[in-house]
Amino acid sequence: MTAGRHFLQIPGPSNVPDRILRAIDFPTMDHRGPAFAEVGQKALEGMRGIFRTKGRVVIYPSSGTGAWEAALVNTLSPGDRVLMYETGHFAWLWSRLAERLGLRPETIVGDWRRGADPDAIEERLRADADHSIKAVCVVHNETSTGAVSPIAEVRRALDAAGHPALLMVDTISSLGSVDYRHDEWGVDVGISGSQKGLMLPPGLSFNAISDKAWQAARDARLPKAYWSWEEMEEPNSKGYFPYTPATNLLYGLNEAIDMLAEEGLENVFARHARHGAAARASVEAWGLEVLCARPEDRSPVLTAVLMPEGHSADAFRATTLANYDMSLGNGLSKVADRVFRIGHLGDFNDLMLCGTLAGVEMGLRDAGVPYRAGGLAAAMDELGATRQGQAPGAEAARGRKAGAR
């Protein structure tokens, strides 16, 4: 037996707060009974607020992968071409899923060290004179690399090219953590999941649907049954679902919606930005390299760290887990064993971040990874500066320039 609480510092599933655990713990109710309508309506309406949309939101009992599939099968037909921007492992998985559904994904290959390039998307769409591309798919926050894509700029790229393709955005690790504006940014289908910024266990996924996407669904010919938006429409209007929902997770979702509203979404986003800046200050003080190369693209919810040449990220993670009972995220596919990922999202505060970074620093020492001491102190400087209302990065940058550490 290991004393104390396990530190789950992967980039999702995130830690589930006690309030949500207690809500999930309520007895399961009749999902066809009159009392359930209030639960369902609150969840559906509350998620509109989280997505920042006045349009429809659909909730599935599934992982985020299901919501990827739902977005595609409800709007597209066999053989349709879709433009995917490969920002990392999850963008690649979404492209592979599209191919298996009988679509023709065309990939703009990135270097896995930055977000999607709107100029490259615009250039490709301008070349698509016959509008054979029916959808553009972008991951907002690429969980494998810690890079955020500028969705508002991607929408401007579509508009500048005069292209009618649907814009689909994966917000699985950004919704409820990173500023996302479904309606304002002109997103047609937003995709998300319960286990990241929404602070729930895995098991719920979401589609936020524009009017344009809803109209496209009327002509789409890919087969669908479980994922059908049309099947959801009538039951959802009364707070119900066409099949058995994940009732207890919906209890938890409603509690999460309340928690986010109590803190205020803008405050939630600012909190995550502070923690992202502090985590990166630690990495830089250690003399290590953040995987995301462009500072403006760096994620507020996780930090992916490159290991020094000749050192195994997985061996370091195993040492940290064995010695300090802390789980860190692994590198995926192209960056396997070269990267470890620090999750700092969801129900998370300054002290939890400092404990996490202390565990990383001790793990680096124990695993024999070359580093400079002082990462935790750099994070504390950053947190102190931003708590006093300064912009993220201000005090830590001044201190490093002055040779304070």
The single-letter DSSP state of residue 117 is: -
Other Cβ atoms closer than 10 A to 107: 17
Residues 6+ positions from 265 with CB-CB distance below 8 Å: 50, 176
Residues 6+ apart with CB under 8 A from 39: 29, 239, 247, 250, 251, 254
Amino acid at 393: G
Distance CA 216, CA 230 (A): 12
d(CA 264, CA 138): 26
Residue 365 has a CB neighbour count (10 Å cut-off) of: 13
Nearest of 263, 252, 272 to residue 200 by alpha carbon: 252
Please choose, from the candidates 53, 73, 78, the residue with its C-alpha nearest in 3D space to the C-alpha of residue 62.
73
Is residue 94 within 8 A of residue 244, CB to CB? The reply is: no
Is 341 one of the annotated binding-site residues? yes
Pair of tokens at residue 402: 């002055």
Q: What share of the chain is helix, strand, coil (3-state, %, to 5)?
A: 45, 15, 40
CB 353, CB 303: distance < 8 Å: no
CB atoms inside a 10 Å sphere around CB 294: 12
What SS3 class is residue 309? coil
Look up residue 361 and give its two tokens. 């620093």
**Cβ 325 vs Cβ 8: under 8 Å:** no
| 216 phi/psi in degrees, rounded to 5 | -60, -30
Q: Is the dihedral of CA 376, 380, 386, 390 positive or negative?
A: negative
Question: Do β-strands 189-193 and 81-86 pair in parallel, antiparallel, or remain unpaired?
Answer: unpaired
Q: Which residues are annotated as a binding site?
A: 341
Q: Which residues are annotated as a binding site for substrate?
A: 341
